[in-house]
Amino acid sequence: MAEKYVATIMKRIYSKDRNYLYVVSHPAIGTVDEETNIFKDVYGNEYLPMQDKNLLLSEITDAYYNIIELSRIKDYMQADSIEEAISEYATVYGRILHYVTTENEMSMNIRLNLDMLKNGAIEGMMHQANINVPKDTPEETENEAEEVIPRILLGSEISEEVTDFIQEIVEGEYSTRDLKTIKDIVKNQKVEIESLLETIDLQLEANDSSVLSDDKPPEITNHIDINDIYKKVTKTLIAQDEPARRVIVEIARKLQSQNINKRGLLVTGLTGVGKTKLITLIAKYINRPFIKIDSTRLTSVGYVGDDIEEKLWELYISCDRDINRTENAIVFFDEIDKKGSSRKDDIAGTAVLNSLLPFIEGSSYYATPDVKTKKEVVKINTKNMIVILGGAFEDVYKNLKNKTEVGFGRDIDSNQKDRKAKVEDFINNAMMTGELMGRVSIIKLNDLEINDLKRILNESDESAIKIQEKLFEELGVKLTVGSDYIEEIATQAYERKTGVRGINNVVDESTWEAYADVYSNVGQYEEIVLSKETVDNPKQYKKIYKTKKEGRLNA
């Protein structure tokens, strides 16, 4: 098996008069061909070493540098885990520029703090090294504002170019999104350009006044009406009153206190009890962007699978590139129980759980549509996000039930409640890490009994029955369901042990024949009546014709 290495992928961004500048793109894991000296990462991308002089005269802009054996990286970076070591490796070597020429055999490393890049440090240090810095970068960017800002803000004085840029803003050449991007960049520059900021604000105000209020994204606030949100949520989510209220209260506390927000929520419960529905409803009613991340697809840095940076990019795009809304979103890591592992070096298990710790506490990430190329990145901080983890954790709750069933086959009181799961139960039975469990509050949604499922069918404003009633109504037919139909649907759904999903499936299976009949014979029927028999045989339903007004049983 080929030796695995960690390498720094470099990108050549400046080239003039046989002088070149390489900057860090990203760390990568892969193998090295000893004969060709080619580094091949886990995605199949191939790179030549940065020191190869032939690269300087080619169109290939990417290369690799500073290669380290993966087996040695923990010791090399003095880290406890491979993931931590790679993260530290990326931080350390992400602050190095490399100046090379076709004439010199040796490269000159220019080490500088990233903050210096914002203040024209590249230009100053390159001039000290007698390197000609071109005015324009060769790479194209999607956003015109993002392309022009780095050029005009490298200096410490307002240039004629800035004046022209202000004129372009006044003439309305930039969209509201571009203006907000420009303003964010400008505010981070340590240059005095108050007139530019004033111009941007005036133009933003003008843009806002020209847009209808319905088109504006709702304003984000940290104060929510607990009672109002609770009433709205429980119109849809039935039989989860107490846990729903608890989640809303915890979110209110997190919005009020930055310290409390450094902790996450762990929402547990069997499949189909409404974990995702609860979080999406709360996000809707408190006016926050929402993203659901399938934890089963997450892996450690450098391995095949979903990356947090790419998921944050999806969130950013769904927020129309509004960084403020992105950084105030609710992020739901679903099926986190599938990441439990007894192995500390499990890249798809323990490593992922450890990677969520800084995310929960608040950390900065460089979101990108593709971690392999990083052609476009945006810095996103998670400190204001509401982070919620979700999972069934069947092994945890099954173990609690088993502990109560002791003795010689004695009957257990059906009203007896199992004790609440403790942190130790999740560590011992679900293989969650102690570090993660120490950063979350646990809230369990209720198991759904047959009566709960009947209530959902009758009371929820999104029940499968009400959805079907609306479909039939749009076709001009009244859909009537008997109490025996409701009872049978709830019973079969309960037996499937899939909660609300089971309800939806059984309703869909029992109504498709009637729907097809009505859909194909528009105007013929006045009413369709479903009964217990319909659940087992969807052809068994009663239809009442508009003309003859008499009931006929469809055979």
Residue 108 and residue 160 in one domain: no
Looking at 444, 461, 486, the residue that finishes a domain is: 444
Confidence grade of residue 195 (pLDDT, cut at 50, 70, 90): low
Write out pLDDT tens, residues 75-102.
Answer: 777 777 777 777 777 766 665 555 555 5
The dihedrals phi and psi of 454, each to the nearest 5 degrees, come to -65, -40
With beta carbons less than 8 A apart as the criterion, state whether 21 and 14 touch.
yes
What single-letter DSSP state applies at residue 217? P
Is the model's pLDDT at 211 over the cut of 60?
no
Residue-wise pLDDT tens digits, 444-465 = 999 999 999 999 999 999 999 9
Among residues 97, 128, 159, which one ends one of the domains?
128
8, β-bridge pairs? 27, 65
pLDDT tens digit string along 323-346?
999 999 999 999 999 988 878 767
Q: Is residue 411 part of a domain?
A: yes
Same-domain check for residues 110 and 52: yes
Q: Is the pLDDT of residue 252 over 90?
A: yes
Residue 230: per-residue pLDDT:
96
Residues 30 and 155 in one domain: no
37-64 pLDDT, tens digit each: 888 887 788 888 887 767 766 667 788 8
Task: Round to whole Å and give the CA distance between 207 and 202.
Answer: 9
**pLDDT beyond 50 at 127:** no
Higher-pLDDT residue of 144 and 36 is 36
pLDDT band of 217, cuts 50, 70, 90: low
Sorting pLDDT into bands at 50, 70 and 90, what band is 530?
Answer: very high
Q: Note the pLDDT of residue 120.
A: 42
Mean pLDDT calculated for residue range 201-212: 56
Q: Are residues 269 and 340 in the same domain?
A: yes
Pair of tokens at residue 487 = 């009872």
In 3D space, the residue among 460, 502, 490 whose CA is nearest the CA of residue 234 turns out to be 460
The one-letter amino acid at 206: A
Q: Report which listed range, 346-355, 456-465, 546-555, is most confident.
A: 456-465
Does the pLDDT value for residue 26 go beyond 90? no
Residue bearing the bigger pLDDT, 532 or 303: 532
**Within a domain: residue 199?**
yes
Q: Greater confidence, 538 or 165?
A: 538
Q: Which residue has the tokens 């697809």?
A: 297
- Are 329 and 337 in contact by the 8 Å Cβ rule? The answer is no
Q: How many domains does the chain have?
A: 4
Q: Do 281 and 168 fall within a single domain?
A: no
How distant, in Å, are the alpha carbons of 63, 214, 404, 412 from that of 407? 68, 64, 9, 10
459 in the same domain as 347: no
- The pLDDT of residue 160 is 56
Checking if the pLDDT of 7 tops 50, the result is yes
- 3-class secondary structure for 45-95? CEECECCCHHHHHCCCCEEEEEEEEHHHHHHHHCCCCHHHHHHHHHHHHCC
Residue 45 token pair: 């991308």
User: What's the pLDDT score for residue 486?
Assistant: 95
**What local confidence, expressed as pLDDT, does residue 532 receive?**
95
Q: How far is the C-alpha of 478 from the C-alpha of 525, rounded, in Å?
A: 9
pLDDT at position 198:
58
Written as one letter, the residue type at 315 is L
Tokens representing 78 are 């003095």
- 124 or 523, higher pLDDT: 523
Closest CA to 199 of 143, 150, 244, 158: 158
Q: Are residues 298 and 391 in the same domain?
A: yes
pLDDT at 388 exceeding the cut of 90: yes
For residue 373, what is the domain's CATH number? Answer: 3.40.50.300
Q: What does R_g of the chain's alpha carbons equal in angstroms? A: 30
Q: 434-447 pLDDT, tens per residue?
A: 999 999 999 999 99
Average pLDDT over residues 404-416: 44
Q: At which of 444, 475, 498 does a domain end?
A: 444
482 and 391 within one domain: no
Main-chain dihedrals φ then ψ at residue 457, nearest 5 degrees: -65, -40
Instruction: Kindly tell me if the per-residue pLDDT of 106 is higher than 90.
Output: no
Closest among 221, 291, 290 to 256, alpha carbons compared: 221
Q: CA 258, CA 272: separation in Å to the nearest integer?
A: 32
CA-CA distance, 464 to 487, in Å (whole number)?
A: 14
Percent of the chain with pLDDT over 70: 68
pLDDT band at 360 (very low <50, low <70, confident <90, very high): very high
Confidence of residue 107 (pLDDT cuts 50, 70, 90): very low
Q: Which of 16-25, 224-233, 288-297, 402-411 has the lowest mean pLDDT?
A: 402-411
Task: Please tell me the predicted confidence (pLDDT) of residue 45.
Answer: 85
- Is pLDDT of 514 > 50? yes
Q: What is the mean pLDDT of residues 240-251?
A: 96
Here the tokens at position 337 are: 């129980």
Instruction: Tell me, yes or no, whether 490 lies in a domain.
Output: yes
Q: Any idea what the Cα angle at residue 315 is, between residues 313 and 317, rounded to 5°?
A: 70
Residue with tokens 């899939």: 498
The DSSP annotation for 142-184 comes to: S-HHHHHHHHHTSSSS--HHHHHHHHHHHTT-S-HHHHHHHHH
| CATH number for the domain harbouring residue 526 | 1.10.8.60
Residue 490 sits in which domain range?
450-553
- For 135-188, write each residue's pLDDT tens digit: 433 343 344 444 444 344 433 344 555 556 666 666 666 667 666 666 665 554
User: From CA 357, how far away is CA 130, in angstroms rounded?
Assistant: 45
Within-domain flag for 220: no
91 and 110 co-located in one domain: yes
The stretches of 385-462 forming alpha helices (DSSP H) are 394-404, 423-429, 434-437, 450-459
For the cut 60, the answer to whether the pLDDT of residue 10 exceeds it is yes
pLDDT in the model for residue 327: 94
pLDDT band at 253 (very low <50, low <70, confident <90, very high): very high
